[in-house]
Amino acid sequence: MIKVDSALCIGCLACSNVCPSKNIVREDTAEKRTITWKTCGEECDLCVEFCPAKALTLVPESEETTIAFELVPCRICGARYATEPMLRRIEAALPKELQKDASGLAWIWVCPVCRRDIEAERATREMVMGRSRRSP
């Protein structure tokens, strides 16, 4: 059976993806992600092996566990895009100088869609200025 340490779980998708018996179920809504570890009697430890946070252990007895994560809203568009522990983990793994972009923006707290927009805006800024000056 699977035991979950809720203090360690970061709410990623690894365990539910690798489980061959679909005993770990996740549900994403616009606001939160819910993960349920069903009571599992399989002779298998893939979820334990692949957990990035080492939050899972196998124990002889365990009950069904559910953890809900509120998803973090993007600082620009407000769309909820990730669990906070996942973002904190990435933040901790990166050197300080890589956590901000050239404009000083903490990009980790911006959703991937807005990150692409920012990159496109940065790449075209000079060109757009030049072209709008030339056009009547």
**In this complex, which beta carbon is closest to another protein, that of residue 61 or of residue 135?**
135
Applying CB under 8 A, the site for another protein has a residue count of: 40
Interatomic CA distance for residues 2 and 98, integer angstroms: 36
Instruction: Name which position in 3, 14, 67, 76 contacts another protein (CB under 8 A).
Output: 14
Q: Would you give the DSSP letter of residue 74?
A: P
> How many Cα atoms are found within 13 Å in the side-chain-facing hemisphere of 46?
14
The answer to whether 47 and 38 have CB atoms below 8 angstroms apart is no
* Burial of 93 per CB tally in 10 Å (0-12, 13-18, 19+): exposed
Instruction: Name which position in 3, 18, 34, 58 contacts another protein (CB under 8 A).
Output: 18
Cα of 38 vs its chain's centroid, Å: 22
Instruction: Name which position in 50, 66, 70, 78 contacts another protein (CB under 8 A).
Output: 50
Binding mask 56-95 for another protein (x = CB under 8 A): -------------------------xx---xx-xx--xx-
- Which residues 6+ apart lie within 8 Å of 25 measured at CB? 16, 35, 36, 38
By CB under 8 A, tell whether 130 contacts another protein: yes
By CB under 8 A, tell whether 127 contacts another protein: yes
For another protein, the binding residues (CB under 8 A) are 12-14, 17-18, 50, 52, 81-82, 86-87, 89-90, 93-94, 98, 101, 107-108, 111-117, 119-121, 123-128, 130-133, 135
